[in-house]
Amino acid sequence: MISIELTGRFKRIVREHGRQAEVAATLKLVQEGFGKPHVHAGISIRKLGKKVFECRTSLDWRLIFQAQKGRLIFDFAEDHDDVKAYLRARG
C-alpha cells in the first residue's frame, strides 16, 4: 500500500481549522484509491501539475499533495482561493 506523509505545515493548517476528522477520513480514501483512475473521480482526485494533485474533503476544503514513488506527501490544505495562491507561489 502507498504510504502517506504529512508535512508540518499541513498538520498545522488542519489542526488550526479543526478539520482533523474529515481530513483523516479523506486521507484513508486517497491511500486506498490512488492509482486507480475510476476511483479518483469518486474521491475527487485531480491532477494539477507534474506529480501534484488535489483532493477534496468537502466543497470548500482541498488537500494538495505530491505523488512520489510509493508515497503521497500532503503539504497544503485550504479553500480554493488559498490553494490557487499556494500553487502560484510554488511556480
Neighbours of 57 (CB within 10 A): 21
Residue 38 pLDDT: 66
* 31-61 tens-digit pLDDT: 988 887 766 566 789 999 889 999 999 888 9
What percent of the chain lies above the pLDDT cut of 90? Answer: 74
Amino acid at 39: V
* Distances from the Cα of 9 to the Cα of 5, 30, 31, 39, 56, angstroms: 12, 19, 20, 27, 18
Q: Hey, which CATH number is domain 3-90, 3.20.20.70, 3.30.2310.20, 3.50.50.60, 3.40.50.10470? A: 3.30.2310.20
Domain spans of the chain?
3-90
d(CA 18, CA 45): 22
